[in-house]
Amino acid sequence: MAGTSDDNLLAKLANLSAAASGDGPLPPLTSHSFEDPEAHEEVVEEEIFDKLAKRLNSIAEGATDEDAPPAIAPIHDEELADDDNPFVPYEPASLEDAQLTESEVEALALKYLLARGDATGRAIAEQLCLPFVLIDQLMRRMKLDRLVAHRADAPMNDYQYELTELGRERARRYAEHCTYFGAAPVALRDYVASVEAQSLTRQNPSREDLLRAFDGLLLNKRMLDRLGPAINSGRGLFLYGSPGNGKTSIAERVTFAFGQHIWIPRAIGVDGEIIRLFDPVNHEEVPLGPSSGLFDNRKVDRRWVRIKRPTIIAGGELTMSALEVTINTSTGISEAPLQLKSNCGTLVIDDFGRQRMPIDELLNRWIVPLEKRVDFLNLPNGKKITVPFDQLIVFSTNLEPRDLVDEAFLRRIPYKIEVGDPSEKEFRELMVLLAKKMGIEYRQEAVDYLIERHYKQAGRSFRFCHPRDLLMQISNFCRYADREPILTEELFDMACENYFSVM
């Protein structure tokens, strides 16, 4: 026997003062009187091992006795919630708490087994993002109904399940309506409550928040002070002005001024219809950190996913179908529209006025949501639902807003901000910053020549994008010619000839 060896797991457990005192994860040990120390040590080890085994079994069986000591201390709320977002979706204790019916969960489980062939109860719970204790009860009932059968035993009081002929027939009927068998859907009312709790209107970005969000962009104080109130409103703004001055860059960074993370459901359920909300293309998941302990005891509802506040950009490819619930007729799965995916974040309509859909259609579609902050969506089954319209909408355009839309629509976009051309001083500052960042030796006389020859004499306006684009031309040429990247009049002539040839 290892005796007092530190490598012996039971010896380590026996030395835990918390276990001995009754304050730790294991119940206090029974008192014994022994003259032989080795005999005493054997009994202590046996007691600890026996109590640990009982605790493991109770967890495997889904025990919920509140008086039973937990395997590890529960994670505190502040470890799950951000300072800027106290909302955390907690694990449901029952299907009723989850706003789910047995039939809904049964359909998902049967379709999963139809696609997989067989799976353990825990694998099914993982797939449906529900607690194992709820799935275990459901699978036992489904076995009694002869929908599934035990194929084999599995560890931790679990079984390997497979479909019976009756179960396979029912699974096929479910799949004819909808093939979805992912995370169980979240009720619409729970999603609405989550948007209200995480709304942009609850955020109040300060000047420091804006400076952090626009770090790397050269914005003067006047522009920053105009953007600040617009972003604080959490409603909508027009960014307009000449191309190349950073309207899209500003719009893309607006979300950084708000809180970092929000929780969204993977899917929303409405009267039997499932709308997929989480989109890996437009949403960036932020996984929870690893659990500290033997078991992950954080009671987070896994039907929800933590993401970075979304910034969704739609350009000239925007069509009316992207603004409505769309259904894949071959799978029966519905996809949420862009405005729903962008809730609690920013929706950028880039190059506004050049969309494939007529502007009047877009204006008529959104004139009520912009005013009332709610949207109305039609489901494939004909039902109409009301959902939050809670995002900062940024319309970015090179055109004059009054030439695009009428006064009624402009009134609903409270902020119209022109992103103007840089001054000569700002142009020079940007040239210095970018030359250093790109590893190009800066020479003042070469920049003086550029401004005099290719701007003032040519009657050309400065643009915020010009320093980056011209320096990129010089950097590429120097790499090609295998020469030191140094600003010269010759290189600026070459870059301008390429860049401005048809402009």
3-state SS, one letter per residue, for 451-469: HHHHHHCCCCCCCCCHHHH
- Mean predicted confidence (pLDDT) in 144-149: 94
Distance of alpha carbon 196 from alpha carbon 421, whole angstroms: 39
**Pairing relationship of beta strands 384-388 and 374-378 according to DSSP bridges:** antiparallel
Q: What is the CA radius of gyration of the chain?
A: 31
pLDDT above 70 as % of the chain: 81
The pLDDT of residue 11: 45
Distance of alpha carbon 203 from alpha carbon 309, whole angstroms: 12
pLDDT confidence bin for 13, thresholds 50/70/90:
very low
Q: What is the pLDDT of residues 445-476, one digit of tens each?
A: 999 999 999 999 999 999 999 999 999 999 99
The HSE-up count of residue 429 (CA atoms within 13 Å, CB side) is 11
The token pair at 488 is 């010269």
Return the bridge partners of 119, or none.
161
DSSP symbols for 286-310: -PPPPPSSSS----B-TTEEEEEPP
Residue where the block lists tokens 């979304």 = 310
Distance of alpha carbon 283 from alpha carbon 280, whole angstroms: 5
Return the bridge partners of 384, or none.
378
Return the bridge partners of 326, or none.
335
- Mean predicted confidence (pLDDT) in 53-57: 53
pLDDT greater than 60 at residue 80: no
Instruction: Give how far Cα 94 sits from Cα of 61, 74, 136, Å.
Output: 15, 19, 12
Amino acid at 430: L
Q: What is the DSSP letter of 26?
A: S
**Domain residues of the chain, as ranges?**
9-60, 102-184, 192-418, 424-499
Which of 51-60, 275-284, 482-491 shows the lowest mean pLDDT across its residues? 51-60
pLDDT greater than 70 at residue 25: no
Q: Which residues of 67-90 are buried (b: 16+ CB within 10 A; e: fewer)?
A: eeeebeeebeeeebeeeebebbbe
The HSE-up count of residue 83 (CA atoms within 13 Å, CB side) is 1
- Sequence-ordered alpha helix ranges (H) in 67-217: 102-116, 121-128, 132-144, 165-177, 188-197, 207-213
pLDDT confidence bin for 54, thresholds 50/70/90:
low
pLDDT confidence bin for 67, thresholds 50/70/90:
very low
The top-level CATH class assigned to 102-184 is: mainly alpha
The pLDDT of residue 57: 53
The pLDDT of residue 325: 95
Identical fold between 102-184 and 424-499: no
The token pair at 1 is 């026997």
**Pairing relationship of beta strands 311-314 and 415-418 according to DSSP bridges:** unpaired
pLDDT greater than 90 at residue 399: no
CB distance 88 to 77 below 8 Å: yes
Q: What is the CATH number of domain 424-499?
A: 1.10.8
Domain 192-418 has CATH 3.40.50.300: yes
